Structure formats: C-alpha cells, structure tokens
Chain A
C-alpha cells in the first residue's frame, strides 16, 4: 500500500516548528498561531473546548468503517482527561503545507491503508492530548499563582491541590490557547493508568448514522453544482472511435456531453478507462442521458483475454522456471532427499471491492484553486490527482473527506477524483461525478488473480524438510511508474511470510501473467491469496505426513521468538503468537472432540501487517454437498487494544467478508470484458447466508497496538476449506467454493 505510506520525515512540519511546534519535531503546531480557526476555545489543530465544557476533537484520518473516528479520538481524550460522554468529533481536511523542503502534512500523515492508522497515531495523538492538557493546567496555575505541580487535570477540569478550587477547561481555554507550546511533549501516562483506552466504546458518530444525518461523498450538494456520469469503455483499454449524442441531448436536464480521454494501453492509470461524460442538472437526468448514448469503440487490445486464457497462461508459466525471489538452504537437494513429497496447486480469482457507496467525487476547479470533496482512503492522492491534471499548486487544492461508505482498498486509487476534475475543468463549474454499481463492478482495480503451486518434502519422521511456493499471477504493481519488472512480485508475495525462516530449505518463485484486467489493493492485499494457499497446503502436508494439522502448525511455529520480517508489518514476526491464538480457538471449539460423520473442524492462522489472527470453524457437509457452517471461532492479537468493541466489529466484519468472498465471489472475463455487472451476479452474501454467531476473542499482547482493518479476513477461506476437507474429503483448491461441493458429492 505504498500509495499512502508517508515517510516519517514527512510527518514533521518543519516550516512550522519554529513558530510553535515541538523542537523535537512533533508534527503539529499546537500554539494558537497554528490553529485553523480563530475560535477562542481552539488549542492547536485537534482540540476545541466549547463554552459548555464539551470537547470537539479533530479526526484527520479517513473513516471507511474501520472505526478510526472513535479509536483515534480515544487516544487524544485519554491524555486530555475529558469525560468521553462530552466528546464529539469534527472531520479535518487534508493538511497540506508547502515548505522549503517540499510539501508536508500539518496534521501528520493522512490515509487509510495497510492498517496503520492506530499504530502511527499511538504516540502522536496521545501527545496531542497531553500537550493541550498541560497548556490548560499551566493556564490554571498562572491564575492561581501556584506552581504547575500543585495542579492536576481531571474530567475536563483543572483542580488546585492547594486551595481546593477548580476551573473548567472552558474557563481556561482562551488563556491556554495563547500560551507558548511546550518545547517537549509532556510525558505520557503509563498504560496501567489508562481509564479510557482499552475500554469498549461505541461508534462515536453512530447517532448520525442511524438517523440518516451522516454525510457521505455521494450526499454532497453545492451551489451551482452539476451532476455527471461517464460511460466507460466496456472492453479493457478500448478507445472511443465516435459517439452520437443527439438523443442524449433530448433528455431534459442534460447540459453537456463530451469525451474523456483514457490512458494508453499499458501506460500508468490516471483514470481507469476512456469514456464519454454526460453532464446534467440532476443525477437521474445524467443516468437517463447516458442510456441514450451510442458509442463506437475501437477493438480492445485484450479482446482475446478470458478467464480460460488466464488459467491456460498460469499453467503454461508454472511448467517453466520463474523468478526466484527467495532461496534458503538447498531446496532441490532437500526435496530429492525427502522420504515423501506433497504437491498441490490452487487458484484464486479476481475479485471486486464493491464498497456499498459507489465511487463519487465533487470537484470545483477554479483558475487558481480546486475544491475536492471525496470519499477517499488517500486524500493526498486525491490532491495529487487534481494537481497533475490542473497544474495548480497542491497547497491551493483543498480536499475535504466525508465519512466513506466502505473502502477495502478501492479508494486508495483516486481515478474518480481525476475524472471529476477533468469534467469540472471542461464545464467550468462545480460537478459531482457518481458511478453506478455497474460502473463499479465493471471498472475496478481488482484483487489480483493467480495460480499457486506448492511442493513440500517430508522426512521419514514426518518433519517438513523442503518447501516451495511458486505463484503465477498478475501483479497489482503493473502499469505503475517506477516499478521494475523484477520488483513486481513484491505486491503478490511477501517473502518473509511463514514458513520462511522456519523451514530451512525453501524457495519462492514468481511468474508474471499478462492480463489487461486492472489490479489494485484489496483488503489485506496478497495476504488473502497467500493465507488461503499456505494454510490449505500445510493441512495437506499434515495429512500426507499422517500428522494432525494443529500439532504440525504448533511444531513449526515453535518457541516465543522474533523472526526478521522485511515487508509491511515488520520489522519482526513472532510465529509463537499464532500458536497462542490457535490453541485458544482450538480449545474454544473443542478441537479434539469426536463428531458425527459429515461434521468436522478446520483451522488456519496468519500474520497480516503486524497483527495475528486465527480461525477455527465447525462445518457439516451433507450428502449432496450442502454446507452448514455451524460454529465460527475467531481470535486476534493486535497488540494493545485501544477499543475492544471496534476490534470485535472488525473481526466480525472481516470474518463475514471472508465467508462472502470465499463462498461466491469471482470476477470473470470474456473477450476482454468483465462479465459481472451488479449485485445480482456479483453476489455479496446476504444475512441468511452468513453464520448467525461469530465468537470473537481478543488476546492482547505487548505494549503497542496494530491496526485491525485487515487481519480478520485472510484465515477465513483456508479454515473453511480445511474444515470442508475434514468433513467430507473434498479438497477445495479453487476459489470461490460456489457449487464445487454439490458437483463433486452428488
């Protein structure tokens, strides 16, 4: 998810430090000079004290349903010493500032990708709260003319230990805001003194959601705003030859129709596809107008691509040699010396992100400024897209973030911002571009598809002595600037993943598939495919060795120790933490119990971006292949837990996403065209198809948190297919499961 990785150095607001930021470079200007608004109660960017002694805390990160508006706000409130019931939130725009060193981010890095928000904010936002609190305490001490040490903050008040008096924060805010900011951030509370962090808290703005007041990008209305839709090329990389808009212009409300140039085949994307835009005075008129468009398209350079040709290509590639991206010990020698070898191939399909709020963006391009309102996971990317098209200084491009109706990685890419900017620029007026569901299903940066081949060697006593994982896939890095062909694998295989560093003789190979299907980051990116395949194969190895899959995993995961982990989520990986989770879920589900014929348990565990997860499922498979998921036990170790209720929601939601995707979801291609188009043929699971209860267990660890947006999903598919195998003997090696059981058993 490098699109949103902002280097540590960029966290520093160097240009502002002299004016009031911490000398150590704390990334905020807390002094009044740096506050965004002139409101008397504003202490720095994040903290506003209202006259009624309630507290409005800024949220700088995109809220895509991962709960950051709640969990990150808890971090500020913990140190600010304010009662949670009196806290509300205020979304902040992108904080981009130009300095002598280039652009930097005055609120710290802003973006939702790679489950990093909580980890990145862990110290920073507590320092924000602590600094504002110390400034309030100092203001009170000055009024009482007592040393700061004789005052303390408690529940929105500063109390004097000498005279027993107190001031509310509201009474002190104006004085505090005028104080110079401390040179060093105040010391943070030890975790043992937390009173808010670690306690379960409901979604802070849930009342707005349940009353219909919450505003999403698609709800944007601005004066003079037009509405737009685009008819994009139905075949991959096709171009417009000509179009006939006469009937379109007959539709009441349609005001303009024009072509939007797409990228050249193979060139990096700024938008996904060429198309024709229809601009109207209402959303419905724009949709209606589009239905009347007649467009002649060029032949697609991918007209011969289909899902069948994709799998033919992977098979062909796997029969040859790949790029060796990790080679430990002597894999070839160990395999030939093995007492027994096991091998298997697995196929993982393309899938669509399908956030429930379709892509949309408001853009108002003026001569020397741009205003963007977008549901985005990457506001800086949105800003960059607008800058690239208009050439306007990035500091003059305001990006406001709404609550986002789901992200799943789709909104790390700001192609829809680019489209809206192009349209606004062309019509010289503000515009809201909205995609239909068909647009979204047919034009996505899909999760990459691939075929995985594994081989393992076993010694006579059932130990794993050799292991190889070879993947033929279509890297999501393709069509990116500055990624060399030999680095493409990095998006699809994380070479330090289990069992690297554990099985001594290990080889990892990658083979590049050529495909015109656009690819991108899909929740937990390559971990979904790799956890499915590795955790399936480890079961296959255990069965071949005559060993229990749980016992084999525990042996391989081994003792409590840190292994080097060079990819996102590192710098280390402790496989023992997976053992701890596995033992927990195994006990909860009564792993060793005798079960009636057709009923069995399956397990899986995986390390994702710094977090650890395990699933144990009990399923029953009927004689005709009817699948009943009877019990679901999920466990996660995401380090320190900030908001257990939020973690549980992510674990439940990730588990359900895992079921929905493994059971039914697949994007297929025919003649260079995506075959699915809406929720009737891209069937996200409905309530009746999902187990009624998901038992969630949170096992805290250590003293820092990791994010939670992605850890819940990767282990679901392999736990399910392992359970299915144990129940009925059918090994699912191709996702989605769909009707494979019925076909094989009946």
Chain B
C-alpha cells in the first residue's frame, strides 16, 4: 500500500510503515497521504484548516493535514484513519462507538471526526460535554453532531472497559 520513493527528502512513517516523499516540502501532508501514498480515507473538505475532514495524528496529536506541510511530518509518525484500529478484526473504541451509535450519514467528515475524537479520548479519558464542545471543531454538513457526542461518551466507556 505504501509507496517508497527513493532519494526522498522527507522520511516519516505512516501507520507504522516507512514512507518517503520526494517533491516540494511545502506540499500539504493531505495530498501526500492521498495521492502519493494512496490512502484515501483522509478527506479534503476546505483546504484552509476549517472543516477538519483531513485530520490525522502526528505523533499522537490531531492535526489538519491540509495545513501541515509534509516537511512538518519529517521524522515523525503519522496515523490516518486506516491505521487507527489495532487490527483488521479489532477496531479502536471510538470506531466501535461510532458503529454502535450509527453516527455516519454521508460519512465524508467521519474519518476526521473519529481522528479528532480519538485524540480527545486519549488525552481526556472521560470528557464532559463542555470538553467535547471545545475539542470537536470539525464540520459535519449532514448534522450528525448529536450522535457524535453520544458516541464520544460511549467510546470513553468502552476504553475504560478495555475494548
């Protein structure tokens, strides 16, 4: 799945696999992930850091990859929606909660929402509604916010139970 470019300028890892990118170091990480590495789960929504559809983790921190030059990932570890689950069989608690609460409508924003929520749960295992409001700034045009909120509460229970 991961293309390795020889003589690359930027070396980093994506979902645990080494990756290199040869090209303009200012290229947004989003387009490197989508078009050079070929992982399409990370979405383009606005390109200016507003919508969060492009959210990925760099060393565990959620970032908007449309605003992060690929050079910002150099030497770091990038996780995308495809790499969030521990394995094919075992999903991340946030993904499980998303399924249980039937969050998605069109689904386009959901990779970004899940990556943002996963960071929240990692840093704050039992967020209250205010913490959710503060952290979850991604846009959902379909209006799945009420179920996203429920799913985050549920994910926090699931992680406490060790799912």
Contact = CB atoms under 8 A, between A and B. Distances in A.
Interface string A53-74: 0000000000111110000000
Contact of A653 (B110, B132, B144): B144
B82 A211 contact: yes
A680 interface: yes
B19 interface: no
Interface in A671-717: 678-680, 684, 686-688, 690, 692-694
Contacts of B145: 656, 687, 690
B12 interface: no
Given A437-B46, A653-B143, A206 B31 contact: no
Contacts, number: 180
Contacts of B147: 649, 652
Contact of A686 (B34, B39, B139): B139
Contact of B139 (A63, A212, A403, A684): A684
Contacts of A403: 106-107
B134 A216 contact: no
A657 interface: yes
B88 to A, nearest CB: 9
Interface of A is mostly: loop
A654 B50 contact: no
B161 interface: no
A313 interface: no
Contacts of B146: 652, 656, 690, 692-694
Interface in B99-153: 99, 102-111, 114, 129, 132-134, 136-149
Contacts of A692: 129, 146, 149
Nearest to B115: A212
A194 interface: no
Contacts of A434: 44
B141 A687 contact: no
B33 to A, nearest CB: 11
A358 interface: yes
A406 B143 contact: no
A480 interface: no
Interface string A336-358: 00000000000000000011111
A279 to B, nearest CB: 15
Given A358-B45, A684-B139, A219 B40 contact: yes
Contacts of A9: none
Given A211-B82, A216-B108, A655-B143, A203 B41 contact: no
Contact of A221 (B38, B91, B134, B141): B38
A202 interface: yes
A732 interface: no
Interface string B38-57: 11111111111011010000
A219 B35 CA distance: 9
B53 A283 contact: no
B145 to A, nearest CB: 5
B156 interface: no
A356 B50 contact: no
A212 B105 contact: no
A725 B28 CA distance: 47
A283 B35 contact: yes
Given A211-B81, A405-B43, A679-B46, A202 B102 contact: yes
8 contacts: A210-B99, A210-B104, A212-B40, A213-B82, A252-B24, A407-B106, A679-B48, A687-B137
Interface of A: 63-67, 202-203, 206-207, 209-216, 218-219, 221, 227, 252, 282-284, 287-288, 354-358, 403-408, 434, 436-437, 645, 649, 652-657, 660, 678-680, 684, 686-688, 690, 692-694
Interface of B: 23-24, 27-28, 31, 34-36, 38-48, 50-51, 53, 80-82, 84-85, 91, 95, 98-99, 102-111, 114, 129, 132-134, 136-149
When A and B form their complex, which 4 residue pairs have the shortest distance between CB atoms, in order from nearest? A212-B41, A656-B143, A65-B106, A405-B108
Given A209-B110, A688-B137, 6 more contacts: A210-B98, A282-B36, A356-B142, A656-B145, A686-B138, A692-B149
